[in-house]
Amino acid sequence: MLLLLLPNKFTEYFYKRYDLDALENKLRTKIEIHDLSNIVNPSWGKVYKGKRNKKAKVFNSISEWKSCFNKISQKEKNLVVYSHIDIHKLNSIIIHYIIFKSKVKVLQSRSLEACLCKTNLQKKVNLKFIVKIIKLTFTNISKILFYFKTKFFSKVVLLLKFKELFILYTGKKKYISPHVLYPLNAEKTTYIKNHSLDYSKFLLNKKKINKKNNLRKHVVFLDSATPYFIGDKELFKHKLNYEPSIWYRNLNVFLKKIEQSFNTKVIIIPHPKVRIAYNPHYDKHFEVCSDVNGTCKLIPKSKFIIAISATTAVSYCVANYKPIVLTYNEQLKKKNPNMLIEMKYMSKVLNTSLINMDKTFNKDKLIKPINKKIYDKYKYEYLTSKEINNKTNCDILNSYFFNKK
């Protein structure tokens, strides 16, 4: 049995994100999903828009979940706990302790699935930038407290030595990140190559795309959740204080200029967490895609893609050999410099354009020619491996855990 533990509200987004429809059809075992958001992250519910998927069991207390988990662990002889539980609260430690006591197999996914640099290791960092980072950090006491709590609990969880730990990773092993899920201690650790979630979805859907209709018709704009909705940084106590009205006014102007310059239409794809929610700041002139699978459906048919963050969704651009334009604005530059560094790094790695949408752009220089060697290198460093080209993530899980036919 595969038991999936999630720290956030299990919406349709996560059902599609983890390819659970494919897993349910092809995995040679039962799957059960436990939504533990009310226990570990009760305030996160407002971030993930939409109703909970009915396939998840929702728990409201440690004792309620422990009772259910113990029954499962005693009944299922081949139980694999696929845990996405983060470690920044005491309840997270208690959950890990309960799993530890059961001596079951624990599975983690520990890849960034995108080329995000370590901003604190940049070689060229001037004094002005350092002062800015210090100011942003120390004017936010809640962020500092959150940081120290997380550091403390990540050390505490290392006191638990699990029996068997399996680490899923994408691309090259050197890109395994301690920042996705904090490392656990184990008697035996096995590393398993698999496809990134976006690349896996690309593989599952590429046969469904009608090549006759695969014409370059539009430009896709991949939006972030912020500033209208709460983003990941706010979840982790990082207050950005953007001005939404100015942000979206300038965005609408920029996207209309793109349409005029390239004689095409722009389709906005909101961030997956808020894709079904209404954003009143978008100009009604634009088509807004609310399809959970919008990225993998629309990117293959696009002229090029514009993104306002170093998003993992560039995986679809790489897999389909589509040009990418990364963009930012003055507010992001001033209030979230780390994010700009991530985009600069991604732009360098993929040889893409990086522009300030608040300034004029040169149409002829906006889109850089695709270098397939660079895209392929990115694919095999961050998204997948040549050794598993002919396997799906379902095949990989079956071969390691559920090989009985």
Helices (H), 263-336: 294-298, 314-319, 330-335
Residue 3 makes CB contacts below 8 A (sequence gap 6+) with 31, 32, 34, 69, 72, 79, 80, 81, 82
Looking at residue 335, its pLDDT comes to 87
Residue 60, pLDDT > 60, answer yes
What does the pLDDT average to over 256-285? 94
Compute the average pLDDT of residues 55-63.
Answer: 96
3-state helix, strand, coil split of the chain in percent (to 5) is 45, 20, 35
With 50 as the cut, is the pLDDT of residue 122 above it? no
pLDDT at 239 over 70: no
**213: pLDDT strictly greater than 60:** no
Mean predicted confidence (pLDDT) in 88-111: 95
In the CATH hierarchy, which top-level class contains the domain 2-118+151-195+385-401?
alpha beta
Residue range 172-188, pLDDT digits in tens:
988 887 666 778 999 99
Which pLDDT does position 237 carry in this prediction?
52
Confidence category of residue 50, pLDDT binned at 50, 70, 90: confident
Plot region of 108 (φ>0 → left; ψ -120 to 50 → alpha; else → beta): beta
Q: Where do you find CATH 3.40.50 in the chain?
A: 2-118+151-195+385-401, 208-381
- Listed range (138-142, 157-161, 395-399) with the worst mean pLDDT: 138-142
Q: What is the pLDDT of residues 150-166, one digit of tens each?
A: 889 989 999 999 999 99
Tokens representing 227? Answer: 């500033």
The whole-number pLDDT of residue 300 equals 94
SS3 of residue 405 by DSSP? coil
CA distances from 162 to 63, 104, 377 (A): 21, 8, 35
CA dist 207 to 201, 210, 257, 300, Å? 11, 8, 34, 12
Rounded to an integer, the average pLDDT of 219-237 is 78
Note the Cα 3 to chain centre separation in Å: 20
Q: How far is CA 102 from CA 96, 125, 344, in A?
A: 10, 47, 45
Which two tokens mark 4? 């999936």
Nearest Cα to 383, choosing from 34, 111, 70, 28?
Answer: 111
3-state secondary structure of 280: coil
Distance CA 350, CA 307 (A): 13
Could you tell me which of 325, 275, 290 has the C-alpha nearest to residue 47? 275
Cα–chain-centroid distance for residue 386?
A: 23
Average pLDDT on 29-50 reads: 87
Please tell me the distance from the alpha carbon of residue 323 to that of residue 210, in angstroms, as a whole number. Answer: 20
What value does the mean pLDDT of the chain take?
Answer: 88
Task: Tell me the whole-structure pTM to 2 decimals.
Answer: 0.88
What's the pLDDT at 393? 95
Class of domain 208-381: alpha beta
Residue with tokens 């005693």: 74
What distance in Å separates the CA atoms of residue 314 and residue 284, rounded to the nearest whole number? 26
d(CA 119, CA 122): 6
